[in-house]
Homo-oligomer: A and B are copies of this chain.
Amino acid sequence: MALKARVLYDFSSENPGEISITENELVTLFSEEELEGWLEGENSKGEAGLFPASYVEIVKDHITSSTNNNGFSSPKTKMSPTHTSYAPPESQSQRGLGAGSVGSGGGSFHTSQGSDDDWDDDWDDSSPATNAPPGLGTTPPLYPVTTSLPGRRGSAPPHQQQAKSSATVGRNLNRFSTFVKSGGEAFLLGEASAFVKDGDRICVVMGKHGPEWQEDPYPFTCTIDDPTKQTKFKGMKSYMSYGLTPMHTNVQVNRRYKHFDWLYARLVERFPVISVPHLPEKQATGRFEEDFISKRRKGLIWWMNHMTSHPVLARCDVFQHFLTCGADEKAWKLGKRKAERDELVGGNFFLTISTPDVPLDLQEVESKIEGFKSFTKRMDENSVVVNATINEFARKQITGFKKEYQKVGQSFKLLSQAFELDQQAYSVGLNKAIAYTGEAYEVIGDYFSEQPRQDLDPISDLLDLYRGHLANFPDIIHVQKGALTKVKDCPKQEGELHDRCNIISCATLAEIQHFHRTRVRDFRSQMQHHLRQQIGFFQKITSKLEDALQRYDDDQ
Task: Please give the residue numbers on chain A whose beta carbons come within 8 Å of chain B beta carbons, in ascending order.
Answer: 209, 371-372, 374-375, 378-379, 381-383, 385-386, 389-390, 392-393, 396, 400-401, 404, 407-408, 410-412, 414-415, 417-419, 421-427, 430, 433-434, 437, 516-517, 519-520, 523-524, 527-528, 531-532, 534-535, 538-539, 541-542, 545-546, 548-549, 552, 556
Contact = CB atoms under 8 A, between A and B. Distances in A.
Contact of A524 (B371, B430, B524, B548): B430
A389 B408 contact: yes
A180 B486 CA distance: 107
23 contacts: A371-B423, A375-B418, A375-B422, A379-B421, A381-B418, A382-B411, A382-B415, A382-B417, A386-B412, A386-B415, A390-B408, A393-B404, A396-B404, A419-B523, A424-B520, A426-B517, A427-B519, A430-B520, A434-B523, A437-B531, A528-B552, A535-B545, A538-B541
Contacts of A372: 422
Contacts of A371: 421, 423
Given A411-B386, A542-B538, A209 B424 contact: yes
A542 B539 CA distance: 7
B411 A400 contact: no
Contacts of A531: 437, 545-546, 548-549, 552
Contacts of A382: 411, 414-415, 417-418
A378 B414 CA distance: 9
Contacts of A539: 538, 542
Contacts of A408: 389-390, 393
Contacts of A552: 524, 527-528, 531
Contact of A421 (B375, B524, B535): B375
A430 B525 CA distance: 10
Contacts of A404: 392-393, 396
Given A393-B407, A427-B520, 5 more contacts: A393-B408, A400-B400, A424-B516, A531-B552, A538-B538
Contacts of A411: 382, 385-386, 389-390
A462 to B, nearest CB: 11
A381 B414 CA distance: 9
A433 B549 contact: no
Contacts of A418: 375, 378-379, 381-383
Copy tally for this chain in the complex stands at: 2
| Interface of A, helix, strand, loop or mixed by DSSP | helix
A92 to B, nearest CB: 16
A433 B527 contact: yes
Contacts of A401: 401
Nearest to A209: B424
A535 B549 contact: yes
Contacts of A379: 418-419, 421
B389 A407 contact: yes
A528 B541 contact: no
Nearest to A425: B209
Q: Which 10 A-B pairs have the closest CB atoms?
A: A389-B411, A382-B418, A531-B549, A378-B418, A386-B411, A382-B414, A375-B421, A379-B418, A538-B542, A427-B520
Given A415-B382, A541-B538, A396 B389 contact: no
Contacts of A532: 549
A534 B545 contact: yes
Given A426-B209, A538-B541, A421 B385 contact: no
Nearest to A368: B423
Contacts of A523: 415, 419, 430, 434
A520 B422 CA distance: 10
Nearest to A426: B520
A144 to B, nearest CB: 15
Contacts of A383: 415, 418
B407 A400 contact: no
Contacts of A556: 524
B528 A538 contact: no
Contacts of A548: 531
Nearest to A431: B520
A165 B412 CA distance: 51
A434 B549 contact: no
Contacts of A392: 404, 407
B390 A400 contact: no
A78 B389 CA distance: 62
A514 to B, nearest CB: 12
A41 to B, nearest CB: 45
A392 B381 CA distance: 36
A531 B546 CA distance: 7
B433 A524 contact: yes
Contacts of A524: 430, 433, 552, 556
